[in-house]
Structure 1
């Protein structure tokens, strides 16, 4: 890796708490999405991806309830995954993975009833259960050899709450929306076909 220096600081781009960057290429262009509980923002990057594209407009894509942005494109929709709540309070963690979708990369992202994520509306994808709490900050959705999608995220085990553990659950798609069985972490499940 080569250090190319900073891209920007929060106070230089007017986005407080500029954390959790998510890089995406779409239609031959490069984009960066980031932010936290002061809003989630996105902007187009230069062709080499090392700076903001000259003249690019900063756009808010989600409200003040979210962090941990991940956008997944599937079947003509962009799915905006994020986390709400608190991530790092052990058994008191309230992290929950949520989702909205849009036909356009910069939104508006909406829930199933059409309410906007800009106004903090979303669908809950994964919430706590008796075995795991703090279910959030998902990463890349990966597809196995059988064509099944899998999501990785972290949680806190109620039996061993000394830290966060890596979780993986199968993502099912129904009527254009992702779901995880029971909307909560699986205790036992099939494995991906590698």
Structure 2
């Protein structure tokens, strides 16, 4: 009888290797991990680096946090001492820089980031590059490469929240967008890191659907029902996976962010959720949502590793409303990712 049960277990495991897939695990963090917004993560050597939106403690733009084990974090610098002068000239209402996204191609690290002001789409995405992320290296120096693309008031998109994905041929693509017409994509020239002049197509990837009776928009702001932003794309298996944040961030205990995902055979779409609903028609499969301890999980970034993928994001303390870095292992089951939010204390 015991041998039969053992054989049956092995047969089931061979029949469906995802049947017993490991559950995702939320990591417990220590050190300088609080007040982290829109985290983007990279690894060089034995060090993980997280880049975050806004002012760095002690001055500068884009705080950098470092860790050797993903759980113990310390502040280890910033990208810019101040907002670049050319951004102050073209966008005088910009008070801080947003949503850094770090990637590596063409022999150097690329940090795409956004400038704007709250509630407007007169925005832009810019680029800085560096040979290394190690601040102790003699090669360490961030170079401001200037504007990549911008949006103006008449555009149906908002040029913030950049993310770079390399397709199966190593071609970089830039996804972006917040509210308005949703998530867009442009092809990038790998030699310059700027828009590829050979392809001027603006690809549409995801958007929200107007409800039958939407609430009126706040004066001067886009309607809340348009709330989709923070795209991040990874290539896993046979699909490209588009992670986005639905609903509202940056409101402390009133934040309603939740992280959604869809997938596509081509990097330019169409992206569908697990039910087959196109993300351009409001589709999205829920990956992370609030619990009694943490609210508004979103602003996500994924790091693919041989030892297992991880996802980093921010969430808001349900008591204080303060944002903090969150990290979860990212597991895959039946072709879809799964992640975890830290549980309430017992």
Please tell me the TM-score bracket, short chain as reference: 0.7 to 0.9
Structure 2 match to 1:61: 205
Structure 2 match to 1:35: 177
Q: What are the ranges of 5 or more consecutive residues in structure 1 without an aligned counterpart?
A: 189-194
Q: Which secondary structure does the structure 2 equivalent of 1:118 belong to?
A: helix
Q: Is the 8 A contact 1:10 1:17 kept in 2?
A: yes
Residues 15, 31 of structure 1: alpha-carbon distance in 2 compared, 3 angstrom cutoff: farther
TM norm structure 2 = 0.50
1:33-69 alpha-carbon deviations (Å, 9 max, x no partner) = 1111121111111231432212411111111442001
Structure 1 match to 2:343: 187
Residues 113, 53 of structure 1: alpha-carbon distance in 2 compared, 3 angstrom cutoff: same
More divergent stretch after superposition (41-50 vs 148-157): 41-50
In 2, the alpha carbon distance for the partners of 1:124 and 1:112 equals 9
Q: CA deviation at 1:29?
A: 1.5
Aligned equivalent of 1:138, options 280, 286, 300: 300
Structure 1 match to 2:161: 20
TM norm structure 1 = 0.86
In 2, the alpha carbon distance for the partners of 1:128 and 1:31 equals 31
Q: CA deviation at 1:13?
A: 9.6
Q: Which secondary structure does the structure 2 equivalent of 1:115 belong to?
A: coil
In 1, the alpha carbon distance for the partners of 2:319 and 2:150 equals 40
Per chain length, whose mean CA-contact separation is higher, i.e. which structure has more relative contact order (CA < 8 Å, sep 6+)? 2
Structure 1 runs of 4+ off > 6 angstroms?
none
In 2, the alpha carbon distance for the partners of 1:142 and 1:7 equals 26
More divergent stretch after superposition (41-50 vs 118-127): 41-50
Q: Which secondary structure does the structure 1 equivalent of 2:143 belong to?
A: coil
